[in-house]
Structure 1
Amino acid sequence: MSDEQDPSIQHEGPAGGWGSLKGMGQVFARELSSPAVLETLMRQNKAEGYMCSSCAWGKPTHPHTFEFCENGAKATIWDLTRDRCTPEFFARHTVTELRDWADYDLEMQGRLTEPMRYDAASDTYVPCSWEQAFTGIATELKALDPKSVVFYASGKASLETSYLYALFARFYGHNNLPDSSNMCHETTSVGLKKVIGSPVGTCVMEDFEHCDAIFYFGQNPGTNSPRFLHPLQEAVRRGCKIIVFNPVREQGLVRFVNPQNVGQMLTGKATELAHMYLQVKPGGDIAALTGLCKHVLALDDAAREAGKEGVLERDFIAQHTHGFDDFVKTARDTGWDQIEQVSGLARADLEAAAEVYAQAKNVIGVYGMGLTQHVHGSQSIGMLVNLMLMRGNIGRQGAGMSPVRGHSNVQGQRTVGISEKPELVPLDKLAQMFDFEPPRDTGLTTVDACEGIKQGTVKGFVSLGGNFVRAIPDRDVMEPAWRQQALTVYIATKLNRSHLVHGHASYLLPCLVRAEEDLQAGGPQSVTIEDSFSHIYGSTGKRKPADEHLLSELAIVAGIAKATLPAHPKWRWDDWTADYGLVRELIAQTYPDDFHDFNARMFQPGGFYRGNPARERDWKTDSGKAEFTNPTVMSSLGIGDAPGRYHLITMRSNDQFNTTIYGHSDRLRGLEGSRQILLINPTEMQRAGLKEGDVVSLVGDAGDEVVRQVDDLTVTAFNLPDGCLGGYYPEMNPLVPLWLHDKASKTPASKGVPVRIVKRAA
């Protein structure tokens, strides 16, 4: 059924187009941004320019005139607002009062301008000098056991800052270095590494110019990475077929009007993107992929019986893979009835999709958090790799695995040492370079850190950006425990909810944004970031800082470290702050294969590639080969169906990026105004005795004793599979149990949360 025929599909039109330009213009006008912002946008994502602080999509060697998308422009405009959140604002409002403010209203106060510390007597943040902040934080850190302190990173900090932050943690004495990937793509780091030996995707941007099919799971480019729509559009125009698996029918994968194409803008004629759009049930990806693999095997059988060349790449399988025979037995033994029931998809549709795969020479597997944020998300990744290996679609041009990451440098932070896993960091080399003994024990993940805060074993939390308390599961359980910590430190640009959930001692430290000039003792500084394709880019800010009191993230990290740690001849915090090039030299010394000649290459157009062994078919796995795996379950949910139980998927609107809410328009889904809505298909609505506009509550149905509830949700008809509900992140986070996470990576299972609907009493 097309979306024009189905009134339950809510949307106004294609991704991109005039709606995208209107969305950018509204944020520009609301933020009172200066005309200089336009110059920043013209430099955005270009060589020698400014690298967008929004998503991690790649920056092309030959950029468009406007190499930014709607969300990237919003992020830049949001950063460069004229609004200021000054000490006078905090003097007028207690922290307790501000906790009742909406997320949007908090950030709308504008850029933070001066360092602040929490004063319990007045229940307010009060100004302090940088020296007072560094000394006060250092005093608290020295009094705590280092193992009881967590250093969290949100994903936007530069490679230089991230490297020093990880060094600081280890000099101090712990590996408690979770970052935002723990909440989204850690399943990739664990799952992919197990089966192909690489913790990141194998594709580069040029692969999208040579693929014949794209199998696309659980990611929405229209909202999360709109610049991806350009290569998708170009691929479709040359005949590539996109097969989408997603419970939500997202306009960003249905049709696209390119804002940089005058003809499309004038005529409104969109490019139809998806060749097939299969609305798989939440958690049904393993079953769907099993069906695809099962039919590929059947096609191979039929071809060989007819004396034709088989579908499988048998030479590749024999030379490069392990476990194929066991996998084949599992796929053949799994019945179609089970596959259809768990996936929610018809056998005929899965067979048609499998035939597209079998006929395509080069296939790319693209996925996002819809695939990873499940109890068995790692097995979902394993199944997608199984499909790709069957025809040798890893390790050649135009083919491979391409997870789409979120924050602009979240992958890069892991690359340069922000990891709780000591085996992923060259600790022996660091010990030699800096003359110290690094901690060797495994640190805390996001889930571990939250458990430690609940139990009282974590007593200090330093946050390099982000809105951690708002982003985590079980928020209503976590916030009271959070305030029992001895110390919380927030390095930030704008006020958010986390800053109001503080420890006994708490500091709010305002920093520059990436688009602003970073002037240090050694002159203007540039920073670097890594994208989803393992390419490294330099970024130089040109805008005047929002306030004279602001420091860079690197200067703040170095300032806290210098105040906390003993003097050491090899720990050169002042020198590193004065010249970021010295930090890049350290990164190159630590990781010579990836970062040799770092300073010389950092502004290479299109970035420089740090390489990926799996792309060269060098498999860094236990067997030395790519691994076929056997799923132990058909559903990745972990908690199955039951009468009255639904599975909730948390969603972002196109007017937000992670926890940052730019406005209340979800244009691509045709939803406007309140974010307190519950999406449900009309058939399920009727079964539940509900009607459009009813106000209901959602309660958790995970089977433990914790009461989880979100109230005052307006019932809204939407095109979703049976048994599936939709709601906005982070508003729905109180319903996600902390313990409901991927078995291998501990990534929260936010795309299949068991809930029940409770009607408001008459």
Structure 2
Amino acid sequence: MRKTTDDIDTSPYTGPAGGWGSMKSLAEITLREKSRPEIARELTRQNKPGGFMCVSCAWGKPAHPHIAEFCENGAKATAWELTGYRVTPEFFAQHTLTELRGWKDFDLEQAGRLTHPMKYDAPTDKYVAVSWAEAFADIGAQLKGFDPTKVVFYASGRASLETSYMWSLMARMYGSQNLPDSSNMCHETTSVGLKQAIGSPVGTIHLSDYDTCDAIFYFGQNPGVNSPRFLHPLRACAKRGVQIVVFNPLKERGLERFTDPQNPIEMATGKSTPIASQYHQVKAGGDIAALMGLCKYVIAADDAARAAGQPAIIDHDFIATHTVRFDDFAAKARATGWEEIERESGLSRAEIEESARIYIKAERVICVYGMGLTQHVHGIDNLHMLVNFMLLRGNVGKPGAGFGPVRGHSNVQGQRTVGITEKPELAPLDRLKELYDFEPPREKGWDTVDACEHIIDGSAQAFLGLGGNLARAVPDTARIEPAWQRLPLTVSIATKLNRTHLLPGKTCYLLPCLGRIETDEQATGPQAVTMEDSFSRIYGSRGRATPAAATLLSEPAIVAGIAKATLAPNPKVDWDAWVGDYGLVRDAIEATYPDKFARFNDRMWIPGGFWKGVPAAHREWQTESGRAEFNVPTAMSATGFEDADGRFRLMTLRSNDQFNTTVYGYHDRFRGIKGTRDVVLMNRADMARLGVAEHDKVDLVGDAGDNGDTRVGGLLVVPYDIPEGCLGAYYPECNVLMPVSHHAEQSRVPAAKSVPVRVERAA
């Protein structure tokens, strides 16, 4: 055992993903949370037709679900929401916000569900209870005095389609296009990169395509932590002989082997299914070079085959009919040397060629990826290279093939579908004007990076947050946190307490809402909501659990309350009627987006959801050229900074006991880290060069050059199988090391998967 204290253990984990470890973890959190007796019933309804959609990730919900259609982290999210603990006005009477800022993230949310609307009282440094009417009236009065173009309406990816539509409509009727959301933090690179190259900003596959694919190429995504239900189709693919080729800096257990908790034989015998056929530990930021190597081999093999009079390797008919700029890209691939590819990727030519041979043999390839590709300065190049690779053999727009980006929060993709965007070209502004008889703002609004910059420089006047924990999730927290408290107004809609709520503006409200799992009783009876998954399918969701408190309002009711207090009456928007019957909101969504939401209310309960449609999935390319586009990368490293003596590439990571900024506990089981999050994962060769030993304490110091000498101190060194020159440490604790300016070009996603840092011995 490698223990540093009685509470901290860093012994390597040798078991599989899933199995008894998942069962034990679920039991522990259910008992710890004193979850309501309803949890057993609710888990049987989770992700089922007619049930509720998981409040965690956006993985697809099958029409024919497993007996238990929930994963370890999804069950944790349900237990977390159905906790028996409560944060009442009495709690806030006992604790100042200054004191609470000293609590850890886990302890804040562990305190329980919020029960009453609260207003910050500066003289006592405490939240005090207010009535809903008082809160709405004051928020509306404050908003009427601000410049709408300087007010932020942030939306977490958890809010339903109905709430998101109402939120975006309220913001635009107010005069603001500042609608940043969770996508700005993670998959905006997908929205920009795929849109440019294939004309569709989302994935092109269906969940059923995993039943017919021949190979899966997998980049920068960890299913064991971020989307555990994905392990079931991966296991099925592996068992039928699908080659699964993984490119990821860290060895992640879910991509190595999986024991299905619903398989009695595997559970009884301890057997597991190997997942990856090949596992290549590419350097952080090295995927452009790795993909260039794959493409270079395929193009060279095709050149050789055609010269020898053999069948072509590349799908030239597809390329001629459906693409542009192939010759430019092929010339770049041929001219790029293997020495550069090996240096930038951290992989050998032999490893890359071995993978490319699998690609050549497969007729139907799915390309899976996550934030390991999107969160880099040159993340767009990552996406363009991924498209180049798939276009070579026509692996887009045919059954069993295409792009499978794995999205994070449960409705982050759906929010964009119904208008949560700062980009005017992505919103149906003319249609909104026609439907609601107002003039929507036409200028580009603020994305998350813009919002952070304006909060820091003091030009933002208010922040309204529909869920989430944005002040903790964003970069540059050493500058963000004090600036947040200088905002004239902050409003947070939430179920639990988090660090953002402890950074009150001059006027500050904390508004507690019902959770998705709970019964939402309105004027016309119990209501249901909808959301969209990573496969562009839309589902109904109905909560049945007893609300945490009788004083809670639903998210739509809170949005309507703010809207009515802020906006002039509009005879074409009956906010009260919408709150009384969410079906009327869905009618409004259908009227706004008839091509995607025809017969919305009738189709929302279709098992497996209804598909909104993705043009590139049937080879309709809505690009500037009208075809799928090859693109020559602008760089061979995605990091956006030069390597230098003593500079490391830091990847910020989530633990197995975490979802986004929500920390469920201190046991990152798959990485063998228990009892702490204050660690840095380091290659042993790097440790030797620095002269540090296992369990020494070090500081990580920001090395980006424009956010000062920021540091995270006293991190425990844990030797780990990670590429030389790369480090791993936990998000959001290490966000302070990343300046707001360190973001992806074009998409402006914080580049959290390659942050330049130095390592210093702890004082």
TM-score range, shorter chain: over 0.9
Identity %: 61
Partner of 2:726: 724
Match of 1:185 in 2: 187
**What's the counterpart of residue 5 of structure 1?**
none
- Report the CA distance between 1:760 and its aligned residue: 2.3
State which of 467, 470, 477 in structure 1 corresponds to 2:469. 467
How far residue 12 of structure 1 moved from its aligned partner, in angstroms, is 3.1
How far the C-alpha of 1:34 sits from its partner, in A, is 2.2
1:689 to 688, 691, 696: 691
Q: Counterpart in 2 of 1:369?
A: 371
Partner of 2:419: 417
Check conservation: 1:697, 1:709, Cα contact below 8 A: yes
Q: Separation in 1 of the partners of 2:512 and 2:14? A: 39
1:152–1:177 contact (8 Å) kept in structure 2: yes
Q: How does 1:48-447 map to 2 (within 5 A)?
A: 48-447=50-449
Deviation at 1:233, TM superposition (A): 0.5
Structure 1 residue 304: Cα displacement: 1.9
Secondary structure of the residue aligned to 2:456 is helix
Q: Do the aligned partners of residues 192 and 255 (structure 1) sit closer, same or farther apart at CA in structure 2, a change above 3 Å counting?
A: same
Shift of residue 643, structure 1, vs aligned partner: 0.3
TM-fit CA distance, 1:213: 0.6
In 1, the alpha carbon distance for the partners of 2:684 and 2:18 equals: 28
Q: Distance in 1 between matches of 2:243 and 2:557?
A: 48
TM-score by length of 2: 0.98
1:282-304 deviation per Cα after TM superposition (whole angstroms, max 9, x unaligned): 10000000000000012112222
Q: Any idea what the Cα deviations from partners look like across 1:551-593, whole Å, max 9, x if unmatched?
A: 0111100110011111111121100000000000010111111
Letter of the 1:16 counterpart: G
The structure 1 residue matched to 2:581, chosen from 575, 579, 582, is 579
Q: Is 1:564 matched with 2:575?
A: no
**Amino acid of the residue matched to residue 638 of structure 2?**
S
4+ residue runs of structure 1 moved beyond 4 angstroms?
none
Following the alignment from structure 1 to structure 2, what is the Cα–Cα distance between the partners of residues 742 and 91?
Answer: 43
Q: Secondary structure at the match of 1:274?
A: coil
Shift of 1:683: 1.1
> 2:642, 2:272 → 1: CA distance?
39
CA distance in 2, matches of 1:523, 1:633: 57
1:669 CA drift (Å) = 1.1
Which letter maps to 2:141? T
Specify the alignment match of 2:549 in structure 1.
547
Matched residue SS, 2:277: strand
The one-letter code of the counterpart of 1:535 is R
Q: Distance in 2 between matches of 1:276 and 1:404?
A: 20
1: CA distance, partners of 2:517 / 2:361: 46
Deviation, 1:269, is: 1.0
**How many Å separate the matches in 2 of 1:461 and 1:500?**
14
SS in 1 for 2:54: coil
Aligned-partner Cα distance in 1 for 2:709–2:346: 30
Q: Is the 8 A contact 2:26 2:75 kept in 1?
A: yes
Q: Any conservation in 1 of the 2:707–2:739 contact (CA below 8 Å)?
A: no
Structure 2: distance between partners of 1:727 and 1:738: 19
1:498 aligns with 2:500: yes
User: 1:59-88 CA distances to partner (integer Å, 9 max, x unpaired)?
Assistant: 001000000000000000100001001100
Check the 8 A contact 1:257/1:265 in 2, yes or no: yes
State the match for 2:4 in structure 1: none
Cα distance, 1:9 vs structure 2: 9.6
Query: Deviation per CA, 1:309-333, whole angstroms, max 9, x where unpaired?
Result: 1110000000000000000000000
Tell me, yes or no, if the aligned pair for 1:394 and 1:401 is still in contact at 8 Å: yes
**Equivalents in 1 of 2:236, 2:347: separation in Å?**
29
CA distance in 1, matches of 2:453, 2:22: 41
Q: Distance in 2 between matches of 1:702 and 1:46?
A: 46
Aligned 1:745-756 pairs, distance under 5 A: 745-756=747-758
The Cα offsets for residues 252-292 of structure 1, whole Å up to 9 and x where unpaired, read as 10000000111111111110000110000010000000000
Q: Separation in 2 of the partners of 1:120 and 1:269?
A: 58
Q: Give the alignment partner of residue 618 of structure 1, picking from 620, 627, 631.
A: 620
Describe the SS at the equivalent of 2:13.
Answer: coil
Return the alpha-carbon distance in structure 1 between the equivalents of residues 504 and 396 of structure 2: 47
Q: CA deviation at 1:705?
A: 5.6
Cα contact 1:56–1:408 (8 A) shared by 2 = yes
1:29 deviation in Å? 0.5
Any conservation in 1 of the 2:116–2:512 contact (CA below 8 Å)?
yes
Q: Which residue pairs with 1:31 in the alignment?
A: 33
- Contact 1:327/1:630 (<8 A) preserved: yes
In the alignment, which of 635, 638, 642 is matched to residue 633 of structure 1?
A: 635
Amino acid at match of 1:366: V
1:167 maps to amino acid: L
Aligned counterparts of 2:57 and 2:166: Cα–Cα separation in 1: 23
Aligned position for 2:738? 736
Does the CA-based 8 Å contact 2:325-2:631 persist in structure 1?
yes
Structure 1: segments with no counterpart, 5+ residues: 1-7
Q: Equivalent residue of 2:759, what SS? A: strand
Work out which of the residue numbers 467, 487, 490 in structure 2 matches 1:488: 490
Residue 6 of structure 2 corresponds to which residue in structure 1? none
The question of whether the paired residues in 1 share the 8 Å contact of 2:650 and 2:757 is answered with: yes
Map of 2:705 onto structure 1? 703
Residue deviations 1:188-217 (CA, integer Å, cap 9, x gap): 001100000001010110111111111100
Distance 2:39 2:412 in 1: 25
Which amino acid letter does the alignment assign opposite residue 332 of structure 1? Answer: R
Q: Distance in 2 between matches of 1:110 and 1:162?
A: 25
Q: Which runs of 5+ in 2 are unaligned?
A: 1-9
In 1, Cα distance between the equivalents of 2:582 and 2:51?
A: 17
Cα distance, 1:418 vs structure 2: 0.3
Distance in 2 of aligned mates of 1:707 and 1:112? 37
Query: Which stretch has the larger CA shift, 686-695 or 698-707?
Result: 698-707
Work out the CA distance in 2 between the residues paired with 1:432 and 1:575: 20
8 Å CA contact 1:10, 1:719 repeated in 2: no
Aligned equivalents of 1:324, 1:291: Cα separation in 2: 16
Partner of 1:598 in structure 2? 600
| Matched residue SS, 2:733 | coil
CA distance, structure 2, for counterparts of residue 709 and residue 683 of structure 1: 23
SS in 1 for 2:244: strand
Partner letter of residue 60 of structure 2?
G
Deviation (angstroms), 1:725: 0.5
Distance in 2 (CA, whole Å) between partners of 1:253 and 1:733 is: 26
TM-aligned CA deviation for residue 305 of structure 1: 2.7
CA contact (8 A) 1:213 1:240 kept: yes
Conserved 8 A contact 1:12-1:667: no
Task: Quote the Cα distance in structure 1 between the aligned partners of 2:647 and 2:11.
Answer: 23
Task: Give the secondary structure class of the aligned counterpart of 1:732.
Answer: helix
